[in-house]
Structure 1
Amino acid sequence: MQYALIADLHSSFSDTRAVLQDIRKRAPAATIFSLGDLHECHVGKKRARRYTYESIAHVVTLNSEYLQLLDFETLLGNQEERIFSLVPLGMSRSLDQLRSALRTKQIGDALFLHGDQFEWSYELVPDTTRFKQRLLFFGHSHQRGLFKDGHRMSAHLDIPISVKKGRYAINVGPVLVEREWLLYDTETASILYRQAR
């Protein structure tokens, strides 16, 4: 089974469209799966504590063209969590449908999640110790990254990497701006970092 993993779309129509087109061209048999932050919350963390709801447009942009691209399974990220805390239930059909999405998903010996569930060092190294799965796939930091047994490794584009042995934390990279995605092949236990042009 092949998974095309994406994360950190942040409501970018052009970047998301480019990545999805690239996936469908280079890995047409892959199942597309998002690791969260589909949307960009316009209200920052600090302001959210004292925010009083006025309208959806103040919280998130729900562009119809962008929403039509979102035809794949997704996990929730921190942006969705903040949006849900600010927008009451029943104000948006698309947001209400998204509320039932999970925060994590286990597939074999891999766990998919959004990286806001980790503590991060100043050097953007995630502390994954509270998760026991051998393979962790995530986004969040907007920086492609590969860690084996807690040590940073090279994460070059277009070079297959075996993840058969050891414990890996794999940041798939952001769709926003960088247009990155990751192909995970469960049969060969390999990953391949990609970037749409």
Structure 2
Amino acid sequence: MKIALIGDIHSRFAQAEQVVTKIRTDQTEAEIICMGDVFEVEKKPVYSADETAIEPMPLSDYVMDSTHPFIHTLNTFPGVIGNQEEKLMKLMPSTQIPENIAIFLGYPREITKGDLLFIHGHQLSWVERDPDVFHPLIENAMLTYRLCFYGHNHDQRLFGVNQVDGEMLYEEIPIQLGSPIPLDKYEKYLINVGDIKSTPSKWAIYCSDADTITFYELSPAKV
């Protein structure tokens, strides 16, 4: 079994289409899971055209790309809900949400497959180990899973996690793009799959047969 993990698209649908095309070309058998934050819900100021007003009257307009044709492809993939989708639900009455968008708002908090956990990550407790290393904590129900896949902070990383005397110890493991990293079946891992929004876009593929994780990025020339 191969699982391709894409997330944090933030309405960069052209980049997402390039990544999915690459996955389907190179890893034809891979299942694709969307890790949340499909949309970018932005608040933009709009000003009144009433020239008689002493000052422009600021209005708040939340805008997002809801018409890109690739959305219809994305909503055929299983996925987990992100904070952008939760934000959208708070801003728009359910009766006003288009059907092609509502599918993403109905995504579950998490997906589990045996000892694998897939979650966007904003729901978790996080720790800043130093200014450049920020990751969620494995705690509570997460302890039952061996591999925890997440996103949210747009930072593709891999951590090995061991419990010593009741304390969870996190060790960052170097990654080399395109090279499968073998995983220890007796160790837990935190796996940030990367984000589509950035340039270059990033994603990851887990192979259960070989028990490896491989990280990828898309050449900027192809976006």
TM-score bucket of the superposed structures, by smaller chain: 0.7 to 0.9
Q: CA deviation at 1:101?
A: 1.4
Quote the residue 2:136 is aligned against.
Answer: 126
Following superposition, which runs of at least 4 residues in structure 1 exceed 3 angstroms of deviation? none
Quote the residue 2:156 is aligned against.
Answer: 144
Please say if residues 90 and 96 of structure 1, whose CA atoms lie closer than 8 Å, have aligned partners that are also in contact.
no
Tell me the distance in 1 between the aligned counterparts of 2:156 and 2:179: 14
Note the aligned Cα RMSD (angstroms).
1.9
Q: CA deviation at 1:113?
A: 0.5
**What is the one-letter code of the residue matched to 1:124?**
F
SS at match of 2:172: strand
**What is the one-letter code of the residue matched to 2:178?**
D
Quote the residue 1:185 is aligned against.
Answer: 207
Quote the residue 2:94 is aligned against.
Answer: 89
Quote the residue 2:78 is aligned against.
Answer: 73
**What is the one-letter code of the residue matched to 2:127?**
S
**What is the one-letter code of the residue matched to 2:20?**
L
SS at match of 1:73: coil
What TM-score results when the alignment is normalised by the length of structure 1? 0.87
Quote the residue 1:11 is aligned against.
Answer: 11
Tell me the distance in 2 between the aligned counterparts of 1:129 and 1:147: 15
Tell me the distance in 1 between the aligned counterparts of 2:125 and 2:15: 28
Please say if residues 135 and 168 of structure 1, whose CA atoms lie closer than 8 Å, have aligned partners that are also in contact.
yes
Tell me the distance in 2 between the aligned counterparts of 1:167 and 1:143: 19
Please say if residues 8 and 197 of structure 2, whose CA atoms lie closer than 8 Å, have aligned partners that are also in contact.
yes
1:196 aligns with 2:218: yes
Moved more, 87-96 or 29-38: 87-96
Computing the radius of gyration from Cα coordinates, the structure with the larger value is 2
Quote the residue 2:53 is aligned against.
Answer: none
Tell me the distance in 2 between the aligned counterparts of 1:195 and 1:26: 13
Q: How many pairs does the alignment contain?
A: 187
Q: Deviations over 1:138-176 (max 9, x none)?
A: 111101010101211112211111123300000000111
Please say if residues 115 and 140 of structure 1, whose CA atoms lie closer than 8 Å, have aligned partners that are also in contact.
yes
Please say if residues 13 and 68 of structure 2, whose CA atoms lie closer than 8 Å, have aligned partners that are also in contact.
no
1:157 aligns with 2:162: no
Higher relative contact order (CA 8 A, sep 6+): 1
Gaps in structure 1 of 5+ consecutive residues: 45-53
Q: CA deviation at 1:39?
A: 0.7
Quote the residue 1:49 is aligned against.
Answer: none
Quote the residue 1:104 is aligned against.
Answer: 110
SS at match of 2:14: helix
Gaps in structure 2 of 5+ consecutive residues: 45-58, 162-169
**What is the one-letter code of the residue matched to 1:110?**
L
What TM-score results when the alignment is normalised by the length of structure 2? 0.78
